[in-house]
Amino acid sequence: MSGKTHDSDGGPEISAATLAYYEERAERSWEGTRNHDVRQNISTLLAHIEGEPPYEILDFGCGPGRDLNTFSELGHHAIGLEGTQRMAQMAREYSGCTVWQQDFLRLTLPEQHFDGVYANAALFHLPSAELPRVLKELWQALKPGGVLFSSNPRGNNEEGWNDGRYGVYHDLESWRRYLSTAGFVELTHYYRPAGLPCAQQPWLASAWRKPRCP
């Protein structure tokens, strides 16, 4: 992995290369992740959304549609957002849901539309220089009181290229600073997979609320 990078001008190139990585490996990625058990993550998001279901859910970085399909089967109004053309098409075919193909760095989202945003293994691909802006865009897309869930591979704030993909491996305190600065209030956090020693839990999951009053 390369050293830390803070050049926002490199954002488009970083995004293009990371998307190309997943475009080339769409089928392989699907076969490797389709049976992952993320029920804990889905349940955490839904448990913190207030009001009566069905909910309006944005699956941010939905990949081939595994979790998007789950939200739909649970009766919610789920929309996927995916950067790669192949995975977006796979998600549409697998889930039957609407899937927006959008680069994470060039989002076009409706304001105050979603009860929940579910970002599983997605936001860590954003360069740290771009993360505050994208978090604010997700904040604006949520209804007042809405919930953002994220799960990212954790680390010691390393940033750079890893096997052809760009990633930022936040620790808890760093992640808290970014989310709090964007206006979110922490609801919960935990490490995954559940039931293992901390050293064997590489994923940091957390849920955050957009306050009803600014």
The sign of the torsion formed by the CA atoms of 193, 199, 203, 208 equals positive
Q: What predicted TM-score, i.e. pTM, was given to this entire model?
A: 0.92
Order the strands of the 185-192 sheet from edge to edge: 98-101, 77-82, 56-60, 114-120, 142-153, 203-209, 185-192
Strands 165-169, 77-82: parallel, antiparallel or unpaired by DSSP?
unpaired
- Does an H or E element contain 186, and which? strand 185-192
Q: What are phi and psi of 128, to 5 degrees?
A: -60, -30
* Both tokens assigned to 139: 């904040």
| Whole-number pLDDT of residue 36 | 79
- Assess if residue 2 is contained within a domain: no
**CATH number, residue 101:** 3.40.50.150
| Whole-number pLDDT of residue 213 | 78
**β-pair partners for 191:** 204
Strands 203-209, 185-192: parallel, antiparallel or unpaired by DSSP?
antiparallel
**Domain count across the chain:** 1
- Assess if residue 46 is contained within a domain: yes
Report DSSP state, residue 157: S
| Whole-number pLDDT of residue 72 | 98
**β-pair partners for 209:** 147, 185
Enumerate residue ranges in the chain where pLDDT < 70.
1-9, 30, 32-34, 214
11-65 pLDDT, tens digit per residue, is 888 999 999 888 888 777 767 666 778 999 999 999 999 999 999 999 999 999 9
| Whole-number pLDDT of residue 214 | 64
* Both tokens assigned to 210: 């957009």
Across 63-179, the runs of DSSP E, i.e. the strands, are 77-82, 98-101, 114-120, 142-153, 158-162, 165-169
Domain range spanning residue 50? Answer: 8-209
| Whole-number pLDDT of residue 171 | 97
- Assess if residue 22 is contained within a domain: yes
- Assess if residue 3 is contained within a domain: no
- Assess if residue 1 is contained within a domain: no
- Assess if residue 30 is contained within a domain: yes
- Assess if residue 199 is contained within a domain: yes
